[in-house]
Structure 1
Amino acid sequence: MQFLYFLQQALVWLITIYWIYQLVISLFALVKIKDKPYIVDKKHKFLAIIPAHNEEAVVGSLIASLQDQSYDSKDYDIFVIADNCTDKTEEIAREAGVNVFVRTETDPAKKTKGAALQVFLNTILNNPEADYDAFCIFDADNVVDKHFFTEMNKHLCQGEEVVQGYRDIKNPDDSWVSAGYAIFYWTMNRFYHLARYNAGLSPLINGTGFMVKMSAIRDEGWKTKTLTEDIEFSLKTIIKGKKLGWATTAIVYDEQPVKFKPSWSQRARWTIGHIQCLAEYTKPLTRSTFENKTLTNFDGLLYMLGSIPMFVITILLLLLNAVFYLTKGMSTADFTLNILKFIIPTFILPIFTALFVMIIDKRPIKKMIKGLVLYPLFLGSWLLINFKCLFKRETTWEKIEHVRKVDINTINKDDKK
């Protein structure tokens, strides 16, 4: 029993130190820093890539928003990857006047966004006439702020090679589920990505609305093998000793599930992808931390260790508390206090953190009240997903249906209300 007590204390200190570190870094989200100076001053040429599998309901709105950029249209091209489409996605893209890359794949294991990007980008890299400086990736359900390329061009001029734009939500108040996503992303955008960028550390790319300089993949191409190709590419960049950038003013609006079942499937895929990255990149991240001796590498390592491993440690602590209580080694008062130490920071504190973010970012609160109240349910379901994925891991890509056809002008009007 004494061993279990020492184990409990060690785990408590481990979690405490971890969260103190996270708290200190998050404070940088409240600091305003000066813009970086330009290293070069030019208008770069961009390649906009839209991986799309049966997205006829929404891809037209994304294309329209990309064609209406403040950036000179001669300085960017739009490509839709019609990935095993059986609907009118290809037809809609061609009618809109953009380029289409048709991909047909019979292997279920290769019917993924990462695989589609790998094939397409390798084609671009092997094309001597392709003179792009950087590419940007957008999910087909997105719509994009008209200044997106202008803002990303600034970051290229500042010498940044991989930059994540601000991932906003185009349907935050459709349901408590989409509200949960919105609250999660708004919080992460400020207290994870912006905080790390301001602190001189590395944010992460986040699925859509990000920019990569062509030279960053020139040598080895786009090679990812997990279900979370965005996190994987971020970690590979950090392992090389490089930092990713963050562009608050390069905004992309993403559609989120409104029903619980597809949300469960999507978040389970993300969790499995994190587990795959944990298995694949923990050792290289550890090695790079000792070799490069930078806080950026250490922070990237903590990101991986702070996901599933920290979740497992928390479960173990709860079990130890239960054992101590049931064997009369802990009083009811102490047991209750320890449970509250789990419940309050896990379910209650995030509500107030999100509310604080919404206030300082000038988000409309009234229409998000239901989402705020049910946010603990959204987070709690994610814990259940993590637990389930420890034992059962489906690696088949399940399509999330996108039907919310919203144009950028409608979103801009809503933001001003």
Structure 2
Amino acid sequence: MVEKWLVALQVILAAIGVYQFTLSLFGIYRKKKHKEYEPKKTFAVLVAAHNEEAVIDALMENLKTVDYPKDMYDVFVICDNCTDNTADIVREHGWTACERHNPHQRGKGFAIEWMLKKLWEMPRQFDAVVMLDADNLVSPDFLREMNNDLCSGARVIQGYIDTKNPHDSWITAAYGVTYWYCNRLWQLSRTNLKMANFLGGTGMCFENQLLKDMGWGATSLVEDLEFTVRCVKNGVNPVFNYKARVYDEKPLTFKASARQRLRWMQGHFTVARRYFFPLLWQSLKERNLAKFDTALYTITVYTVLVTFLLTGYMWVDAALFNGPNFPTLYEYLPTWLAVVSVVATCAAFILALILEGVKSWRVYASLITFPIFLLSWWPITFYAFFTQNNKVWSHTEHTRVVRLDEVHGKQVS
């Protein structure tokens, strides 16, 4: 009986892998043109910040250079439990610093919920809300692109999350490869198939009325995924804007990266427990592929965990008991199929870099250490499973000050 369950698990994991790989192929094609509109929508740009005096200056400068009428957007920085000069720097640039002090409800989700209530009490009401992180930079056309999508009927929009420091370390390079892959062969493929895209925590835009109707309510450790699922459940599919770039600072060290990814996985387990089955039943009842795809994404954390456990079991069995002593899927499939699947997976990342026009030899050289980064998700996810009830937000310290003109040369050198 146990042997049958082991084979069944392997079949399910293989089916999910084939499904995701097939979807990724639809990201190869990119439509070059889309409808453009004159500036019509007004924006409240919210920036979540906790002790970000080292990097906030660059973003405040950057937002002054956005190619959009200055009277049609305003910037509000949420200085969440700050003990440094973040608020003073924001005010020096003429933007609004909103100071929040609540040591019992720490984290981005709580800060955003607090800020939205403040925003809705203000005399001026905006058409849409953009959310950024303090370490970000945005492309000059960012708000114009958000305006285009809003005028086209979109209500929730995710911009293209890029990295501003891919050459700092092998870890930042790994993040860069991951995000280029996800933008091209994950997000864009779902755009081409008219399915729901996934919010990435920054570079997000929301119709103000939708936020008022739904409420924020996303206070888990992965507020972006939680709000994505709530939107899809309510029939609102987030869209992806390929041209609206937001540049994010990635952790420099493996330790900082592991801590950040542990928080993501802890929060992912929470969202999976809360939303997978309701969304799955809803997708089957409505025969809605977008909802099914989103439900499947919520349990990605479990597929990573099960893959790790099965692989670990196989290695231990082979090393200590001269295995395999349990049935594997490969017994029923030709050997060449396993080789093809591994090669195809590796080729997908290289293809994504080529499609995205990455020319930096250092990025391609980083592919040598990239498998270490991928494999490190396994123990991180395993540990997250046993600590998933942790609700304490772990702040990622940002120190890398980069200006937009420096970012533009990152893929070439």
* TM-score strictly above 0.5: yes
1:166 Cα shift? 0.4
Which of 194, 210, 219 does residue 216 from structure 1 map onto? 210
Name the counterpart of 2:4: 6
Query: What amino acid sits opposite 1:401 in the alignment?
Result: E
CA–CA separation in structure 2 for the residues paired with 1:131 and 1:227 = 29
The answer to whether the 8 A contact 2:276-2:296 is kept is no
**Cα 1:133–1:174 shift into 2, 3 Å:** same
**Deviation of residue 8 (structure 1)?**
3.0
Residues 358, 365 of structure 1: 8 Å contact kept = no
Partners of 1:29 and 1:352 lie apart in 2 by 14
2:230 to 224, 236, 239: 236
Question: Alignment partner for residue 49 of structure 1, among 46, 51, 75?
Answer: 46
Q: Structure 1's 37 and 292: CA in aligned 2 closer, same or farther, altered over 3 A? A: farther
1:57 and 1:8, CA in 2 relative to 1: closer, same or farther beyond 3 A?
Answer: same
**Is the 1:165–1:247 contact (alpha carbons within 8 Å) kept by the matching residues of 2?**
yes
2:391 maps to what in 1? 395
Closer, same or farther: CA 176–345 of 1 in aligned 2, 3 Å:
farther
Maintained 8 Å contact 2:43/2:129: yes
SS in 1 for 2:212: coil
Query: Deviation digits for residues 89-140 of structure 1, max 9, x if unmatched?
Result: 0000000000111101121xx110000000000221233x232111111110
CA contact (8 A) 1:347 1:380 kept: no
Higher mean Cα deviation, 216-225 or 115-124? 216-225
The CA distance in 1 between the partners of 2:382 and 2:322, in whole Å, is 26
Q: For 1:243, give the aligned amino acid.
A: N
**Change over 3 Å in CA distance of 1:58–1:240 after alignment to 2:** same
Deviation at 1:368, TM superposition (A): 1.5
The CA distance in 2 between the partners of 1:60 and 1:402, in whole Å, is 12
Q: Is the 8 A contact 2:67 2:144 kept in 1?
A: yes
Answer whether contact 1:122 1:221 (CA < 8 A) is retained: no
Cα gap change, 1:147 to 1:334, in 2 (>3 Å): closer
Give the direction of change, closer, same or farther, for the CA distance of 1:72–1:329 in structure 2 (3 Å limit): closer
Of residues 395, 403, 406, the one that matches 2:402 is 406
Q: Which amino acid aligns with 1:267?
A: R
Q: Name the CA distance, whole Å, in 1 between partners of 2:5 and 2:244.
A: 46
- What does residue range 317-356 of structure 1 map to in structure 2 within 5 Å? 319=313, 326=321, 350-356=345-351
**Which stretch shifts more, 273-282 or 366-375?**
366-375
Q: Deviations over 1:273-305 (max 9, x none)?
A: 100101111132123213432101110111112
Tell me which residue corresponds to 2:147.
153
Q: Deviations over 1:132-157 (max 9, x none)?
A: 11111111001111110011111011
Q: In structure 2, what is the equivalent of residue 31 of structure 1? A: 29
Q: 1:220 to 1:161 in 2, by over 3 A?
A: closer
Matches within 5 A, 1:338-377: 350-377=345-372
CA displacement at 1:42 relative to structure 2:
5.3
- Per the alignment, residue 112 of structure 2 pairs with 117
List gaps (5 residues or longer) in structure 1: none
Residue in 2 aligned with 1:180?
174
Question: Deviation per CA, 1:177-229, whole angstroms, max 9, x where unpaired?
Answer: 11111111111111111111111111101011111111111124211131000
User: Cα distance, 1:9 vs. partner?
Assistant: 2.8
Does structure 2 retain, via aligned residues, the 8 Å contact 1:122–1:222? no
Give the Cα separation in 2 of the matches to 1:54 and 1:334.
50
Residue aligned with 1:249, SS: strand
Aligned with residue 219 of structure 2, among 217, 225, 232 = 225
Q: Partner residue of 1:247? A: 241
Q: Distance in 1 between matches of 2:2 and 2:392?
A: 40
Contact 1:69 1:149 in 2 (8 A): yes
Q: Which residue of 1 aligns with 2:189?
A: 195
Question: Does the Cα contact within 8 Å between 2:167 and 2:410 map onto a contact in 1?
Answer: no
What are the superposed Cα offsets for residues 296-339 of structure 1, whole Å, 9 maximum, x if unpaired? 1110111112332453255236536865994867599998999x
Deviations 1:247-288 (A, max 9, x none): 110000000011111111100000001001011111321232
CA distance in 1, matches of 2:220, 2:51: 22
CA shift at 1:4, angstroms? 3.2
Number of the residue aligned with 1:99? 96
**2:221 counterpart SS class:** coil
Q: State the superposition RMSD in angstroms.
A: 2.9
**CA distance in 1: counterparts of 2:378 and 2:336, whole angstroms:** 16
> Kindly, what percent of the aligned residue pairs are identical?
31
SS of alignment partner, residue 290 of structure 2: helix
Equivalent of residue 60 in structure 1, options 42, 57, 62: 57
What corresponds to 1:76 in structure 2?
A: 73
Q: Is the 8 A contact 1:57 1:403 kept in 2?
A: yes
* Aligned partners of 1:179 and 1:368 also within 8 Å: yes
Cα distance in 2, alignment partners of residues 346 and 49 from structure 1 = 43
Q: Would the alpha carbon gap of residues 379 and 344 (structure 1) be closer, same or farther in structure 2, given more than 3 Å must change?
A: farther
Residue segments in structure 2 that go unaligned for 5+ positions in a row: none
What code does the residue aligned with 2:282 have? S
Distance 1:153 1:58 in 2: 27
What residue identity is the alignment partner of 2:110? A
Cα contact 1:8–1:320 (8 A) shared by 2: no
Q: CA deviation at 1:16?
A: 2.2
Once the two structures are overlaid, the 10-residue window that deviates more, 316-325 or 49-58, is: 316-325
Counterpart amino acid of 2:173? A
| Alignment check: 8 A CA contact 2:137 2:246 kept | yes
User: Does the CA contact (< 8 Å) of 1:187 and 1:354 recur in 2?
Assistant: yes
CA change 1:90–1:333 in 2 (3 A) is: closer
Q: 1:267 matched to which residue of 2?
A: 261
Q: Distance in 2 between matches of 1:331 and 1:177?
A: 36
